[in-house]
Amino acid sequence: MNEPRRIAIDLPGTEAFRDDDLEVLRTTLQTIVTLSMESRDEPCESSRRMHREGWDVHWGLTWIARARRGGVTEEATGSTRSEVLARLQQLTSLHEVDGCP
């Protein structure tokens, strides 16, 4: 049996992390690894069907950010939190007229 591979990451201000915070991070990262490796070598039927129909399919995990004000909703996606929040800021700023909300 192969030894499990491990990675180490630097956490900013690790003194601010409690044990339960670290457990949430560990569980979240394990979930991401599991999702990204799931059926990696065997494309699912949906993916095979799209490929047969000429689609080049790529997928990945992403950040989603939503902003709501009154009856208006804006949503952005991105590969990092900074990216998605910058995109969301651009979208919400489109609702300003002469700098006023």
According to the model, what pLDDT value does residue 52 have?
A: 93
pLDDT value for 16 = 78
Dump pLDDT digits (tens) for 17-59. 788 888 888 888 888 887 777 656 566 788 889 999 999 987 7
Query: Is residue 50 within 8 Å of residue 57, measured between CB atoms?
Result: yes
Instruction: Label residue 14 by pLDDT band (50, 70, 90).
Output: low
Please give the structure tokens belonging to residue 32: 């991401």
3-class secondary-structure state, position 44: coil
Q: Residue 99's pLDDT is what?
A: 66
pLDDT for the residue 26: 86
Residue 81, pLDDT > 90, answer no
Token output for 55: 């689609």
Output the pLDDT for position 40: 61
Q: 67: exposed, middle or buried (C-beta count within 10 Å: 0-12, 13-18, 19+)? A: middle
